[in-house]
A and B are shown apart, each in its own frame.
Chain A
Amino acid sequence: MENFLKQSWAGLRILLALTVLLGVLYPLSVWGVSRLPGLHANAEATDTALVAVVREGDKYFVPRPSAATLPASGGSNKGELNEDYTKVIAERRAQIAQREGVSEDQVPQDAVTASASGLDPHISPEYAALQVPRVARASGLSVEKVRELVASNTHGTFTTTVNVTALNRAIDSASS
């Protein structure tokens, strides 16, 4: 016990010293360097297109469903054999099919499933293509123009995805 207390006392002093180094100097140095131009916008998420934003109105592309409680992030955590959740997915599918005027089997997986963060800004090119006619109609832009905007917001090295947040901003500037 005596040895334990002696070691704990040394431990407390080491902990305090390391807290200054790792808990104050380290994060503040990283933060300090992140003030440099080139890193600053990333660090503060200025004008970020990394997170999904639900925009009201038919002229916008719709991101994936979200189970998050904003401003916090989060997902559904529903297992694949959860029957109640299967019903939720079926409802989403019917709703999207009706909204886009297509048959239910044309609705892709990503359109009906919630992401892990609830903030996934991306949809699949298939889901984007599904939404093009509606967006064109409601925004007054031509189908070709909307397709062009989709193409310029389609990226990815290993997985090709369309960024809805950036795409909707492009729709805004093209239709205003």
Chain B
Amino acid sequence: MSPLVAGLLQVGILVAALAVVYRPLGDHMARVFQNKGHSKVELAIYRFARIDPNAEQKWSTYAYGVLGFSFVSVVFLYVIQRAQSWLPFDFGRGNVAPGMAFNTAISFVTNTNWQSYVPEAVMGHAVQMIGLTVQNFVSAAVGLAVAVALIRGFVRHQTDRLGNFWVDLTRGTIRILLPIAFVFALVLIAFGVTMSLKSGVDVDGQTIANAPVAGQEAIKELGTNGGGVLNANSAHPFENPGEWTNLIQIFLILVIPVALTRTFGRLVGQHKQGYVLLSVMGVIWAAMLAVIWGAEAGGLRPLEGKELRLGIPGSAIFADSTTGTSTGATNSLHDSYSGLGGGGTLLNMLFGEMTPGGVGTGLYSILVMAIIAMFLAGLMVGRTPEYLGKKLGRKEVTAAAVSILAMPTVLLIGAGIAAILPSTQGALNNPGAHGLSEILYAYASASNNNGSAFAGITVTNDWFQSSLGLCMLFGRFIPIIAVLALAGSLAAQKKVPVTSGTLPTTGPLFATLLTGSIVLVAALTFVPALALGPIAEALQ
């Protein structure tokens, strides 16, 4: 089979599988967050946490919930890494160094899953399970909860209540993520992914590290987390043994962000509102796939940093999907991609990860961008913009702008300082423009909570550990607070009736406007930086 046909066939299978589950999963997720009843397990958890699940929260309390939960998660994850040598299954790997533990704790709590450590040498199975696996679930559930709160902001009117964060968090975890992850963990094992409590396995006299991979692998992709159980991530044969596991993993990465557009349409009472967002996500995803795949197929040494069994198309589809969401799992080394191909993966993150974006984060990011797009359209026709029956006034547009601008601000400041620090020179793995790309990619990945890397860069010194840690924090929580404030202010409003002057947000005009805004914001912000890195490399 020619690589072109093979690649198109894989894309076809992927799209077909997503289409099959789109409605049932999207509708299921809508019901999960609408339903009034609680299951027994959930009630037990609420009782243990002393939470009244029927009490609804204001946006500020909801936000304090997100921040408080994330804060204790960071502390807990830091402590168990620092105490690893007293936990079982540590295989003498010892306590994780303070800087690395700090960075990793933030990384997994913010759904970034950036890894400054080599798992096989640093992380034992206990920390992987009770620390990292747990955050793989709950950080994704936090994203879902924030997205749902924003939808409620649009749907509700004249109220200061957005729902209960603890209920949304628990339901997202137990009713959506956990059952799907469990089933797919077993499917992955059936296709050859490992699940061992031993530290390694002897293969013809050679020891290869092993781990309880499958359980974490399933939620790693499903929760758009991306932190590898093993160093080579989804390139490792134990994490991703073949062509079918590769497709399953890409499917898991995309399935929730894609189906959430259906959830959104259902909750706002008009499916078309969701389809139009999906079409924008799909168009940019497909366009970026063409760029990355095309660049790699025509690269100088396309097989460097790629697994032969996964092939160039299988690597490109994965790379496009992992950077278009906030996943950051990799099945090939983006650092070894061509200038254009690697630049494509970088640009994908710089779009703000809404094509289709991470679990929950993708939906709220594109909704924020929709507000920006409607604001721009409002400026053009000189009319107060509206979206989904809500007026977009000063408060709403300010919140949207803060949410959008947080990422570029921390990214460019961080990368700018890193580029002039003398110590950075020794951290790079490649000279010239590609070296700058390694820095840019690191800060783009951290600030967008992606987690993939141009992995040649050595990020274990104190500057990188702390600055990238802060980028992850700000890149995660500034947008979340802004989005929840936005949701609160939308929910307080009255519904405005649709009139002949209302710009419809279900047609091609809106889709074009939204696509244009996504591309324009990224282009205006990042072209100078990109010109010095990947663009310079691609033109050489």
Is B49 a contact partner of A72 (Cβ separation < 8 A)? no
Residues of A within 8 A of B338 (CB): 80
Q: How far is the CB of A54 from chain B (nearest CB, A)?
A: 8
B523 at the interface (CB under 8 A from A): no
Q: How far is the CB of A23 from chain B (nearest CB, A)?
A: 4
Is B133 a contact partner of A22 (Cβ separation < 8 A)? yes
Given known A-B contacts A33-B186, A159-B314, A23 and B130 have beta carbons under 8 A apart:
yes
Which residues 282-328 in B have Cβ within 8 Å of A in the complex? 299-311, 313-314
A102 at the interface (CB under 8 A from B): no
Is B456 a contact partner of A81 (Cβ separation < 8 A)? no
As a 0/1 sequence over residues 212 to 250 of chain B, the CB contacts with chain A under 8 angstroms (1 = contact) are: 101110000000000000111001111001011000000
Q: How far is the CB of A3 from chain B (nearest CB, A)?
A: 5
Is A117 a contact partner of B301 (Cβ separation < 8 A)? no
> Please, which residue of chain A has its CB at the minimum distance from the CB of B315?
A116
A37 at the interface (CB under 8 A from B): no
Q: How far is the CB of B539 from chain A (nearest CB, A)?
A: 11
Q: Chain A, interface size: which category?
A: 35 or more
Residues of B within 8 A of A7 (CB): 61, 64-65, 67-69
CA of A81 to CA of B436, assembled, Å: 13
Q: How far is the CB of A10 from chain B (nearest CB, A)?
A: 5
Which of A44, A77, A123 is close to B336, meaning CB atoms less than 8 Å apart? Answer: A77
CA of A22 to CA of B194, assembled, Å: 19
> Please, which residue of chain A has its CB at the minimum distance from the CB of B65?
A7
Given known A-B contacts A7-B67, A10-B51, A110 and B137 have beta carbons under 8 A apart:
no
CA of A55 to CA of B313, assembled, Å: 30
As a 0/1 sequence over residues 151 to 176 of chain A, the CB contacts with chain B under 8 angstroms (1 = contact) are: 00000111111000100110000000
Given known A-B contacts A44-B198, A80-B300, A115 and B429 have beta carbons under 8 A apart:
no
Residues of A within 8 A of B178 (CB): 21-22, 26
B190 at the interface (CB under 8 A from A): yes
B355 at the interface (CB under 8 A from A): no
Q: How far is the CB of A163 from chain B (nearest CB, A)?
A: 9
Is B64 a contact partner of A114 (Cβ separation < 8 A)? no
Is A82 a contact partner of B305 (Cβ separation < 8 A)? no
Is A119 a contact partner of B72 (Cβ separation < 8 A)? no
Given known A-B contacts A45-B194, A77-B429, A11 and B201 have beta carbons under 8 A apart:
no
Is B335 a contact partner of A73 (Cβ separation < 8 A)? no
CA of A168 to CA of B204, assembled, Å: 10
B169 at the interface (CB under 8 A from A): yes
Is B133 a contact partner of A26 (Cβ separation < 8 A)? yes
Q: How far is the CB of B452 from chain A (nearest CB, A)?
A: 12
B445 at the interface (CB under 8 A from A): no
Is A77 a contact partner of B49 (Cβ separation < 8 A)? no
Total number of B residues with any Cβ neighbor in A under 8 Å: 116
Is B208 a contact partner of A75 (Cβ separation < 8 A)? no
Q: How far is the CB of A79 from chain B (nearest CB, A)?
A: 4
Residues of A within 8 A of B76 (CB): 12, 15, 19
Q: How far is the CB of B2 from chain A (nearest CB, A)?
A: 10
Which of B50, B204, B437 is close to A10, meaning CB atoms less than 8 Å apart? Answer: B50
Residues of B within 8 A of A106 (CB): none
Q: How far is the CB of B533 from chain A (nearest CB, A)?
A: 11
Which residues 13-71 in A have Cβ within 8 Å of B in the complex? 13-19, 21-24, 26-27, 29-31, 33-34, 38-39, 42-46, 48, 50-51, 53-55, 64, 68, 70-71
> Please, which residue of chain A has its CB at the minimum distance from the CB of B216?
A27
As a 0/1 sequence over residues 338 to 364 of chain B, the CB contacts with chain A under 8 angstroms (1 = contact) are: 110010000000000000000000000
12 A–B pairs (Cβ distance < 8 Å), ordered by A: A4-B68, A11-B73, A12-B76, A16-B48, A23-B131, A34-B195, A39-B190, A72-B118, A74-B231, A74-B232, A80-B339, A123-B308
Closest 5 CB pairs of A and B: A77-B456, A116-B235, A7-B68, A8-B68, A11-B69
Q: A-side interface residues toward B, CB under 8 Å?
A: 3-19, 21-24, 26-27, 29-31, 33-34, 38-39, 42-46, 48, 50-51, 53-55, 64, 68, 70-83, 89, 109-110, 112-124, 156-161, 165, 168-169
Q: B-side interface residues toward A, CB under 8 Å?
A: 1, 3, 6-7, 9-10, 41, 44-45, 48-51, 60-61, 64-65, 67-73, 76, 118-121, 129-131, 133-134, 137-138, 166, 169-170, 173-174, 178, 181-182, 185-186, 189-198, 200-201, 203-210, 212, 214-216, 230-232, 235-238, 241, 243-244, 299-311, 313-314, 330-333, 335-339, 342, 429-432, 434, 437, 454-456, 537, 540
